[in-house]
Amino acid sequence: MCGIVGYVGEKNANEVLIAGLKKLEYRGYDSCGVVTLSDKHFDITKSTSRIDSLEENLKDAPKSKIGLGHTRWATHGGATENNAHPHVSSNKKFVVVHNGIIENYAKLREMLKKKGYKFYSDTDTEVVPNLIDLYYKGDLLKAVKDATDALEGSFALGIMDVNEPDTIVGTKRNSPLVVGVGDKECFLASDFSAILKYTDKISVMENDEFTVLKNGGISFYNNELKPCGKDFKIMDTKDEDTEKNGYEHFMLKEMNENTLTVKNTVEAYLKDDEIEFDLKLTKEDFEKVRQIHIVACGTAMHAGLNGKNIIERLTRIPVNVEVASEFRYKDPIIHEDDLVIFISQSGETADTVACIELVKERKIKFLSLVNVRESTIDRISENVIYTKAGPEIAVASTKAYIAQICLIDLFAIYLAKLLKTADKKLIKELMHEMKTMHVKVQEVLDNSEKCKEYAKEIAGASDVFYLGRGVDYYVALEGSLKLKEISYIHSEATQFGELKHGPIALIEEDTPAIAICTSKRLMSKVVSNIKEIKARGAKVLFITNHKNLHDEIYDEIIEVPVTDELLAPILTVVPLQLIAYYVTVEKGLDVDKPRNLAKSVTVE
Ligand code: AGP
């Protein structure tokens, strides 16, 4: 979604801002802009195209040592230059970049209009510089505080005053903002990856705090504008980790990192024959759990479904998986002893964050599985287990999903071991399998040529079916999401058993259908289902770990290595990710930055 970068220092601000905005591109945007300040004048440049074209437009721009940059993901008003940030007050005195949504903007706009302020855009943001102007009595920080007191909704803001050539003010509420410090320079960013090239020393802003970046120095203030100290942390992510490193696309790089991701995630928590997590939850806490709720969005929610399968099978504790945007508004039924598990790659997903606040308010115990350290979810959760995927840049999540399912598998085994709910031999076998799983993942990746060939066959399709039963259906959901989000081919995941209740009506000559089966118990049922759709013309790709199948039941086959049925999704999802990738490449589309999508969904 929207991204912010700000700079005050000795360098050419435009260069720093463009480098930062390029790092924020992965979040998804449809317009961008920068503002610098020199000779008491704001220079604002905007583009409704990519950052490269903004950079081109800035070639002859005056050099300045201070500025703000923004990538906009349109919410209020179309993706036009007029609506792109930065936005200035009517009198051109204050300039603002904003992430989030100002929910009471219409009321504020009317009030400001009555006071003579003129508006030029359709955005909610434009009220902010004008409000600051309204409240300004010679103290920028105080005016920002008074303006934000009037705002409802979510925001991260970077603000400049035309009369203060060395100052940026930043503040946030329910939208991330970090501050970075270098040698006589300081930075503001919505995501630390934007400034990692220049500094790894970062402090994370809390809601309703203020920061003033001035002449290479940084000060922080609480909501009463009293100075407050804040810690700076050294981030362990390196700028190189967020580069393509020779791969054509981030998604390809990240799928190739599936192997290392599985190895790192398993080795972090499974040592010898013990699984250990650094949790404040005790054995007694877990013993009391009557139901587990898993709450997440998109791919992370699909990882949660995989968790439901393995947790229920190993512990017999019922697991309810919910989409965060539904959970937050349904007054969920949660018993005081229940456990809620949140899953998020970015740690910033607005709906998931809101659900955590809800659960915290009710004093329910919860645990968060997060990939990005120092993200909002990481900081607001007492119990966190980290997925070890490293930075994921492509909008389509691949290695983070694999890390999430590995981690939830480990958690299920840990819980079953702790509560003694599963056969010891099975637990031992599962742990043994997990230790060597990365080798099998690599085997699937080594077979990617088959996926590439198949992708060519279906690249022209308008609908693709993904079919499975049980946990294979959960993987089908993820495969289907991956295809639709980057290739724009409509796809649908259906349980095999549900076909006859409706979806089979859509099967016609040459409809591509991807069938997944890793269950011994369900194989004969799946074979019958496949025959039914083949009889109606479907062309079936079968993804399975069963050997020596009669070739009349499929048109194409991709075999994955054998593993325990509970862990099979770690392997079966890999060809599905590869197929989505190669279809998109075949169609010549932007793999890493699909239209309309954002990497971290920081507004609801
Ligand atoms: C993944 O391919 C998707 N782009 C998306 O569904 C994503 O998984 C979802 O937005 C949740 O994000 P999170 O894991 O960062 O919370």
> CA-CA distances (angstroms) from residue 373 to 202, 275, 385?
12, 21, 10
pLDDT digits (tens, 9 = 90+) for 425-474: 999 999 999 999 999 999 999 999 999 999 999 999 999 999 999 999 99
* Residue 2 annotated in active site: yes
pLDDT digits (tens, 9 = 90+) for 567-594: 999 999 999 999 999 999 999 999 998 9
- The atom of ligand 1 lying closest to the CA of 297 is 11
In the reported structure, the alpha carbon of residue 394 is separated from the centroid of ligand 1 by a whole-number distance in angstroms of 11
In the reported structure, the alpha carbon of residue 239 is separated from the centroid of ligand 1 by a whole-number distance in angstroms of 22
In the reported structure, the alpha carbon of residue 296 is separated from the centroid of ligand 1 by a whole-number distance in angstroms of 9
In the reported structure, the alpha carbon of residue 302 is separated from the centroid of ligand 1 by a whole-number distance in angstroms of 10
Q: Which of 65, 172, 593, 599 is catalytic?
A: 599
Q: Does the pLDDT at position 28 exceed 80? A: no
pLDDT digits (tens, 9 = 90+) for 35-91: 999 988 999 999 998 899 999 988 888 889 999 999 998 888 888 989 999 999 999
In the reported structure, the alpha carbon of residue 494 is separated from the centroid of ligand 1 by a whole-number distance in angstroms of 21
Radius of gyration of the CA atoms of the chain, in A:
26
Binding-site residues, ligand 1, Cβ < 6 A: 297-300, 344-346, 349, 352, 395-397, 485, 597, 600-601
Give Dmax (Cα) for the chain: 81
The stretch 223-235 carries a mean pLDDT of 92
pLDDT band for position 224 (50/70/90)? very high
* pLDDT, position 43: 94
pTM over 0.85: yes
Are 94 and 60 within 8 A, CB to CB?
Answer: no
Angle between helices 424-446 and 399-419 (to 10 degrees): 170
Which residue type does 246 have? G
* Residue 599 annotated in active site: yes
Cross-sheet strand order for the sheet of 153-161: 87-88, 94-102, 153-161, 167-173, 210-214, 217-221
Nearest residue by C-alpha to atom 6 in ligand 1: 298
Q: For a substitution probing ligand 1, which of 249, 250, 254, 299 has the most ligand atoms within 8 Å of its CB? A: 299
pLDDT digits (tens, 9 = 90+) for 506-557: 999 999 999 999 998 999 899 999 999 999 999 999 999 998 777 788 999 9
Nearest residue by C-alpha to atom 16 in ligand 1: 344
Average pLDDT, the chain: 94
Tokens of 182: 């270098």
C-alpha dihedral (515, 519, 520, 526), degrees to nearest 10: -30
Q: For a substitution probing ligand 1, which of 601, 602, 603 has the most ligand atoms within 8 Å of its CB? A: 601
* pLDDT, position 552: 82
Q: For a substitution probing ligand 1, which of 321, 322, 349, 596 has the most ligand atoms within 8 Å of its CB? A: 349
Which residue type does 126 have? E
d(CA 351, CA 365): 18
CB contact set of 556 (below 8 Å; sequence gap of 6+): 450, 454, 457, 539, 540, 541, 542
The stretch 269-293 carries a mean pLDDT of 95
